[in-house]
Amino acid sequence: MAKKVVIYGYTTLGSKIANILSEKEYQIIVVDFEPSALQQASKDGFETFESTLLNDNDLIEVGITKDIDALFCVSYNNKNNLFITLSARNLSKDLKISTISKTKSEANKLQIAGATKVLNPNEIGAARLGSPLAI
């Protein structure tokens, strides 16, 4: 049975994650509150769920407490990413939660909230550009 993953935020990063995981045969559920993002996700062949996920009932309805293996919080709204991380962790202690941050302070908050992995795309990009191989 394919592992199920929720991607909150069908952003540029969210769509790339969805495509990579889809190729590895994960079942993807894209959650967003922007109709245009949901329309694109659906067009790209992904199951969609319209929500901000700021309500525990929506997290439960999307399957966080049942059969979801991982949650990716990659919305452009950092406050939503933090709140959803905190709420999802409260509902499921074993859930793998990956999220993004723009600052070290934000990363610390996300880790305290229960994120399994926090990445800063700007730092990753800067590190790659700064490496001798990139020049």
pLDDT of res. 25? 95
C-alpha pair distances (Å), 105 with each of 18, 62, 80, 120: 27, 29, 16, 11
Burial 110-133 (b: 16+ CB within 10 A, else e): beebbbbebbbeeeeeeeeeeeee
Output the CA torsion sign for 69, 12, 9, 90: positive
Q: Mean of the per-residue pLDDT values for the chain?
A: 91
79 pLDDT more than 80: yes
- How far, rounded to the nearest angstrom, does the alpha carbon of residue 76 sit from its chain's CA centroid? 11
Q: What is the pLDDT of residues 20-77, one digit of tens each?
A: 999 999 999 999 999 999 999 999 999 999 999 999 999 999 999 999 999 999 999 9
- How far, rounded to the nearest angstrom, does the alpha carbon of residue 122 sit from its chain's CA centroid? 17
Cα 44 to Cα 37: distance, rounded to the nearest angstrom: 10
pLDDT of res. 125? 52
- How far, rounded to the nearest angstrom, does the alpha carbon of residue 70 sit from its chain's CA centroid? 8
Cα 64 to Cα 57: distance, rounded to the nearest angstrom: 10
131 pLDDT more than 90: no
pLDDT of res. 120? 84
